[in-house]
Amino acid sequence: MAQRLFGTNGVRGIINEDMTSDLALQMGKAIGTVMGGTVAIATDTRLSADMIKMAVSAGIMSVGVSVVDLGILPTPAIQYYVKTHDNVTGGVMITASHNPPQFNGIKCISADGTEASRVEEENIEERYSKEIPCVAWNQVGDMCRMSGAGEEYVDAIVSKVDSESIRKAGLTACLDCANGAAYETAPLLLKKLGVRTITINCNPQGEFPGHPSEPTEENLRDLLSLTKATGSAIGIAHDGDADRCVFITGDGEFVSGDKSLALISKYVLSKKKGLVVTPVSSSSLVEEVVKESGGTINYTAVGSPVVARKMIETGAVFGGEENGGLIFPEQQYCRDGGMTVAKMLECIVAEGPLKDQIAKLPVYYTVKRKIECPNDAKKHVLEYIAEASAGAKIDNTDGTKIIFDDGWILARPSGTEPAFRIYSESKDEKVAEERADKYEKLVREYLNQ
């Protein structure tokens, strides 16, 4: 079997160390051979975006496949483009999402706009590992630049929500794009929805100087205080490639991804009953709210492609992850940051201020820990934890989830980083902390021995 290159979210690495133009060129040749036809390509705002894009594109064209360059776009915008343009056989997004600026990555998109399946990725890995023949000079692919894909994406979102009511509400929002891929589409979307918008970190700067591009409470201090100080209805923050989105209440309170997932689940289920799909790492808050709202919850392994595919299989009404990556079947089967913004605005207009809606949600305490762990030790750490938890009620959907009467703990290796993750949840904050401490200690114990 060929070497595994793709992680949970594409191939990622540090520029000119493990993510090089040589790798990108060979990846391009492999991708072109597998996808054929015409491949769309887009990037986020990283300094290395053009270097990797050019190398991947050169590889694609050298095997006789054409490239449509869409410029800088959120990941869901290129996915929407691939889905809705029949002449396009697949897509490549150059991004490392929320990773620090020294990283970049290559993510493949299937012809239907979904993230490439593991089988498709294995196909590409298989080609990558071999010498790939180039075509004759007169069969080389060409490249055309296309503008307007961002606006097509925005217009599609506007058409799929109650934009009339949102416009009438005359809302004000604060927006933070982490100087990433949504710097143009996110303000445009809010403008088309009639929302007065105050922006910060909406400049496409390759070194992300605003703040690190993972939308955590820590990194969003400026947005928190700005939202409160301006009396805005909501604060909105995207990650680097804007497939995800988190919110701030008008009081400047950070709303975790679990809470927005629960809230939008409730809103979606109030219109249409059905299945909500989410990974085992999501808070029980989501399950409780889904059941209360007359829906059914379906758990999967962690990773948005798995959630999306399960949603297609089951005809689910909604789905998403605890990190703010929500999937709306009426738009497309992938995490969609722009759609999340529009739906949340619709939800506020229909159901009342965000802070009031959050206050009504059941309270769970979730403690998340990330422990550095070499990739080759991950499997052994997992075995060590499973042994230490023998006799307990265990769910093996992904990693090891140990279920207690008053909560659960999930221990799983990260799919994107050399790290191990511990999630601990309980209705009692102290219990959640204590259990997280205990399992973090177990991981460290193994790594130190």
Contact residues toward Mg ion (CB under 5 A) are 97, 239, 241, 243
Which of 97, 281, 282, 424 is catalytic? The answer is 97
| Contact between 252 and 176 (Cβ < 8 Å) | no
**Min CB(47)–Mg ion separation in Å:** 18
Q: Residue 38 or residue 97: which is nearer to Mg ion going by CB?
A: 97
Q: Which is nearer to Mg ion, 243 or 336 (CB)?
A: 243
**Least distance CB 95 / Mg ion (angstroms):** 7
Cα 226 to Cα 239: distance, rounded to the nearest angstrom: 18
- Least separation in angstroms between residue 115's CB and Mg ion is 11
Tokens coding 164: 């009339």
CA atoms lying within 13 Å on the CB side of residue 146 = 22
Cβ-proximal residues to 308 (8 Å cutoff; 6+ apart), any chain: 114, 115, 319, 327, 333, 334, 335
Side by side, the strands of the sheet bearing 393-395 are 365-372, 419-426, 407-413, 400-404, 393-395
> Is 97 considered catalytic here?
yes
Using the structure block, give the residue that is written with the tokens 């990797």: 52
CA dist., res. 53 & res. 94, Å (int): 7
Residue nearest to Mg ion (CB): 97
* DSSP secondary structure, 98-145, as one string: TS-TTEEEEEEE-TTSSBPPHHHHHHHHHHHTS--PPPPGGG---EEE
Question: Cβ 241 to Mg ion, closest distance in Å?
Answer: 4
Choice between 121 and 239, CB closer to Mg ion: 239
Shortest distance, position 97 Cβ to Mg ion, whole Å: 3
Q: From start to end of 146-233, where are the E strands?
A: 172-176, 196-200
SS (H, E, C) 283-306: CHHHHHHHHHCCCEEEEECCCHHH
Nearest-approach distance from CB 166 to Mg ion, in angstroms? 25
Which residues contact residue 324 at a Cβ distance below 8 angstroms, ignoring those fewer than 6 apart? 215, 239, 244, 245, 246, 257, 260, 261, 337, 340
Active site residues: 97
